[in-house]
Structure 1
Amino acid sequence: MPKKKSVYVCQECGYDTPKWVGRCPGCGAWNSMVEETAKTNIAHGLSLGLGSAKVQKPQLLSEISIAKMPRFTTGSVELDRVLGGGIIPGSMVLMVGDPGVGKSSLNLRICAYTANMKKVLYITGEESLQQIRMRAERIDALSDKMLVLSETNMELINEHVEKQQPDLLVVDSIQTIFRPDVQSAPGSVSQVRECAVELLRLAKSKAIAVFIIGHVTKDGTLAGPRVLEHIVDTVLYFEGERNAQYRILRAVKNRFGSTNEIGLFEMRDIGLVDVPDASKLFLSETVHDSGVIITPTIEGTRPLLVEIQALVAPTPYIPPRRTSDLVDIKKIQLLLAVLEKRVNLALGACDVYVKIAGGIKIDEPACDLALCVALASSFTNKVVKEKTVVFGEVGLSGEVRAVNGADIRIKEACKLGFTNIIIPQKNLNTVGKITGVNIIGAANIKEALQAVF
Structure 2
Amino acid sequence: MKELFSCIECGFQTPKWMGKCTNCGKWETLKLVPETDQNNARNRNKAKKIKVSHITSKGETVRLDRLSTGFQEFDRVLGGGLVKGAVLLIGGHPGVGKTTLLLQILSKIKNCKSVYVSGEESSEQLSIHAKRLKILQDIPAISSNNIDSIIATIDDLKPLVVVIDSIQTVETSDLNSIAGGVGQVKECTSRLIHYAKSTGTIIFLVGHITKGGDIAGPKVIEHLVDGVFYIEGDSSTKIRLVRSMKNRFGSTREVGVFEFGAQGYDDAKNPSEIFVLTRKPQVGVCKGVIFEGRRALIVEVQALVTDCVFSVPQRVVSGLKKVKVQMISALLTKHTKANLLDKDIYVNVANGLKIDDSSIDLSIAIAVFSSFSNKKVTEDKVAIGELSLTGEVHPGSSIIEKVKTLKDLGYKELILAKKIKDSLAHKDKITFIETLSELTLKL
The alignment's TM-score, normalised by the length of structure 2, stands at 0.88
* Range that drifts further, 177-186 or 335-344: 335-344
Asked whether 1:443 is paired with 2:434, we answer yes
1:215 aligns with 2:208: yes
2:229–2:244 Cα contact (<8 Å) kept: yes
Partner of 1:37: 34
Instruction: Give the RMSD, CA atoms, in angstroms.
Output: 2.9
Structure 2 unaligned blocks of 5 or more:
none
| Aligned-partner residue type, residue 214 of structure 2 | T
Per the alignment, in what secondary structure is the counterpart of residue 320 of structure 2? coil
Is 1:278–2:271 an aligned residue pair? yes
Q: How does 1:154-303 map to 2 (within 5 A)?
A: 154-286=147-279, 288-303=281-296
Between 1:349-358 and 1:318-327, the stretch displaced more is 318-327
User: d(CA) in 2 for partners of 1:142 and 1:52?
Assistant: 49
For residues 64-102 of structure 1, the C-alpha deviation after alignment (integer angstroms, 9 at most, x for no partner) is 876363222211112122222222223221111122211
| Counterpart AA for 1:363 | D
Counterpart of 1:15 (choices 8, 12, 16) is: 12
Task: Rate the CA distance shift 1:11–1:92 in 2: closer, same or farther, 3 A.
Answer: same
AA in 2 matched with 1:293: C
CA contact (8 A) 2:336 2:436 kept: yes
Taking the aligned partners of 1:406 and 1:430, their CA distance within structure 2 comes to 10
Instruction: Indicate the residue corresponding to 1:141 in structure 2.
Output: 135
In the aligned structure 1, how far is the partner of 2:57 from the partner of 2:42?
31
2:113 — aligned with what? 119
Is 1:130 paired with 2:131? no
**Residue in 2 aligned with 1:334?**
327
Paired letter, 2:186: R
Alpha-carbon separation, structure 2, partners of 1:64 and 1:148:
43
Evaluate the alpha carbon distance shift between residue 85 and residue 430 of structure 1 in structure 2; reply closer, same or farther with a 3 A threshold: farther
The one-letter amino acid paired with 2:121 is E
Rounded Cα–Cα distance in structure 2 between residues aligned with 1:61 and 1:141: 45
Structure 1 position 388, deviation (Å):
1.3
Mean alpha-carbon deviation: is it higher for 9-18 or for 351-360?
Answer: 9-18
Identity %: 36
Kept in 1, the 8 Å contact 2:284–2:367? The answer is yes
The change in CA–CA distance for 1:54 and 1:344 in structure 2 (over 3 A counts) is farther
2:381 and 2:30 mapped to 1: Cα distance? 57
In 1, are the aligned partners of 2:3 and 2:16 still within 8 Å (CA)? no
Offset from partner CA, 1:167-210 (integer Å, 9 cap, x none)? 32211111111011011111222211211121222233333322
Q: 1:97 maps to what in 2?
A: 92
Aligned length: 443
The change in CA–CA distance for 1:66 and 1:136 in structure 2 (over 3 A counts) is farther
Give the corresponding residue for 2:102.
107
- In the TM superposition, what are the counterparts of 1:255-404 in structure 2 within 5 Å? 255-286=248-279, 288-315=281-308, 320-343=313-336, 345-404=338-397
Q: Deviations over 1:397-416 (max 9, x none)?
A: 32222245445434544565
Letter in 2 for 1:71: R
SS of the residue 1:341 aligns to:
helix
Q: Displacement of 1:151 after TM fit? A: 2.5
The 1:12/1:41 distance shift into structure 2, 3 A limit, reads closer
Displacement of 1:35: 3.3
Counterpart residue identity of residue 90, structure 1: G
CA distance, structure 1, for counterparts of residue 48 and residue 141 of structure 2: 30
Judging changes above 3 Å, is the alpha-carbon distance between structure 1 residues 253 and 318 closer, same or farther for their aligned structure 2 residues?
farther
How far is the alpha carbon of 1:421 from its aligned partner?
1.5
Give the deviation of 1:269 after TM superposition: 2.0
1:20-56 per-position Cα deviation (integer Å, ceiling 9, x unaligned): 5544444454444433314677843664xx5476513
Is the CA contact (8 Å cut-off) linking 1:99 and 1:242 kept in structure 2? no
Deviates more, 1:188-197 or 1:84-93: 84-93
Aligned ranges 1:26-65 → 2 under 5 Å: 26-38=23-35, 43-44=40-41, 47=44, 51=46, 54-63=49-58
Distance 1:19 1:60, change over 3 A: closer
On the 8 A contact 2:234/2:352 being kept in 1, the answer is no
Secondary structure (helix, strand or coil) at the match of 2:250 reads coil
CA–CA distance in 1 between the matches of 2:26 and 2:55?
46
